[in-house]
Homo-oligomer: A and B are copies of this chain.
Amino acid sequence: MKALGVAVVGTGFIGPVHVEAVRRLGHRVVGILGSSPEKSRVAADQLGLEKGYASLAGVLADDAVQVVHLASPNVLHFPQCRQVLAAGKHVVCEKPLAMTTAESAELVKLAVASPVVAAVNYNVRFYPLVLEARERVRAGGVGRVFHVSGSYLQDWLLYPTDFNWRVRAEDGGGLRAFADIGTHWIDTVCFITGLEVEAVFADLQTVHPTRQQPTGGGETFTASANRDRRAAVEVPVATEDAGSLLLRFRGGAKGSLTVSQVTAGRKNCLRFDIAGAEASLVWDSEEPNALHIGYRTKPNERLIRDPALMTASVTPFANYPGGHAEGFPDTFKQLYRAVYADVTNGRSESPLYATFADGHREVQLCEAILRSHREEKWVTV
């Protein structure tokens, strides 16, 4: 293998996850960029990286860097993607791709016009059993899909004292829980089933209309389960803490999704139930090494993530033998495996990773969801 040079933008929760995953593949993370040169330096030092960049321009000017990963807050994705594409470097952008469809549509155009690889970081696709579920649908084992239901539940914003930039519409977008985690679910089930969303009906909820914003800044998933008692100021919150969505897919299948960031005890639980004419598929991200396959005429199955039992095309993405549990960090590795293969060998026609077109569709869905909630009617996407 030929090692690629990679730079990561973002030093918060998920930036270092990118760094670790790139390294597992044997590629070289040249440096990192934070919100200030000082933060970049500190992060580079902590992570043992050569360079802490002073600016995105600095990253883009670095010839050692072929691929740029954007793991910054949502509001920066659009301007930063544009810059990276303009510089002719490959880009992996965190989700959501942009704040508006106007932005994401422009990025799609730019990406298509450019020769580089441009991916959106929908990592859930790369759980080996999610890939396997997709192959089973494609091979006909599930039959015509009737219905998809599920949920994505978390509890890290349960208390009114919990705060993060995501709760502020100006930083995260007007739609919060659905944009932040709900789109992972929709991307995943559409990826597996091949279905396309035709229309949505939403009903959202802000259970805490005000929250305590720490005056010192709040990080994602900070390691304390307790109600903070830090200095804080009460601010109004307009984005949703939870909500439910009905979906209509092209071709007649239907679906439903519940999303919440305020469900006590659920840490990061994405779950789907795909009901087809021959079988159903159930999977839960908190127990990602098992796929449950339901049947009417024979015993249900519990397929363990085991390369020896999975479809051949999936096994490159399941690196450990059965029973040797893989998890969340592994999905980033596998996603970049697919992206870097295209970087090295040229863009493939229908890549496994989410393209900017996929990312754009999710932003469209977000706008439709918000409109449906406000207007209390079905909105066609």
**Chain A residues near B (Cβ < 8 Å):** 1-3, 13, 17, 20, 23-27, 45-49, 146-147, 149, 151, 153-156, 158-159, 201, 203, 205, 207, 221-227, 241-244, 246, 248, 254-256, 258, 260, 262-269, 273, 275-280, 282, 285-289, 292-304, 306-309, 315, 319-330, 376-378
Minimal Cβ-Cβ distance residue in B for A49: B26
Q: Enumerate 12 A-B pairs (CB-CB under 8 Å) in ascending A order.
A: A3-B48, A23-B23, A24-B24, A146-B205, A146-B263, A147-B263, A264-B280, A266-B323, A268-B322, A287-B287, A300-B304, A329-B329
Query: Do A223 and B26 touch across chains, with their CB atoms under 8 A apart?
Result: no
Contact of A155 among B292, B296, B328, B330 (CB under 8 A): B296
Closest residue of B by beta carbon distance from A280: B264
| Given A268-B321, A294-B266, A323-B286, A302 and B301 contact (CB-CB distance below 8 Å) | yes
CB-CB under 8 A for A244 and B149, given A225-B297, A327-B330: yes
Q: How far is the CA of A265 from the CA of B222 in the complex (A)?
A: 32
Pairs of residues from A and B, 9 with the lowest C-beta to C-beta distance, nearest first: A265-B294, A267-B323, A268-B323, A26-B48, A267-B322, A325-B327, A244-B256, A225-B308, A221-B321
A149 to B257, CA, bound (A): 10
**Is chain A's binding surface mostly helix, strand, loop or mixed?**
loop
CB-nearest residue of chain B relative to A253? Answer: B205
Task: Count copies of this chain in the complex.
Answer: 4
Interface centre among A248, A277, A324 (most CB of B within 10 A): A324
Of B223, B260, B279, B306, the residue contacting A275 (CB under 8 A) is B260
A223 and B307 form a contact (CB under 8 A): yes
A301 CB contacts on chain B under 8 angstroms: 299-302
Q: Given known contacts A146-B207, A377-B377, is B262 in contact with A275 (CB within 8 Å)?
A: yes
**Which B residues lie within 8 Å of A282 (CB)?**
265
Q: Give the residues in chain B near A265, CB-CB below 8 Å.
A: 279-280, 282, 292-296, 300
A325-B288 in contact given A264-B275, A302-B302 (Cβ < 8 Å):
yes
Cα A318 to Cα B27 in complex, Å, equals: 24
Would A323 and B1 count as touching, CB distance under 8 A? no
Nearest neighbor of A333 in chain B, beta-carbon distance: B20
Interface centre among A26, A27, A222, A278 (most CB of B within 10 A): A26
